[in-house]
Amino acid sequence: MKGSYIDLLIRIKNGYMASKDSVMTPYSKIKEDILKILKKLGYIEDFIVDKKNKLDITVILAYENNKPLFTDVKIFSKPGRKFYIKSAEIRTDRSGITSKVLSTSKGVMTDIEAKKNKIGGELLFEIS
């Protein structure tokens, strides 16, 4: 599971549940793209990529009043079953409680960006 984004999400969730300041994960390009989205959405504080040989990523977790910023993640696409969605089928959460992340032909993006660009793709996960 070295390059799996599922491993990344579970490490972050477990880090939050254990009240850790940061977690480490092996490097992959998709993990870096997902972390950029999580940082933009405010679910993590920051992440640091090992610049020398790109072996590890350190994810700095963010808390609000000593509470984790995300507690639940629902994974749609798994190694044995890919879950694809068309742009017309994307339902965005207007309340802002949950966010979906898709892998599209234009890169990894949120459900709102995919709907705006009228692009479908592989629905990776939903975070709340």
Same domain, 17 and 39: yes
Domain total of the chain: 2
pLDDT in tens, 30-64: 999 999 999 999 999 999 998 787 789 999 999 99
Q: Does 1 score more than 90 pLDDT? A: no
Q: Does 9 score more than 60 pLDDT? A: yes
The whole domain housing 61 covers: 5-68
Encoded tokens for 35: 């972390």
pLDDT in tens, 88-126: 888 877 766 788 999 999 999 999 999 999 999 999 999
Q: Does 18 score more than 80 pLDDT? A: yes
**Domain closes at, from 51, 68, 85:** 68
Same domain, 53 and 90: no
Same domain, 105 and 64: no
Same domain, 40 and 91: no
The CATH number of residue 96's host domain is 3.30.1490.10
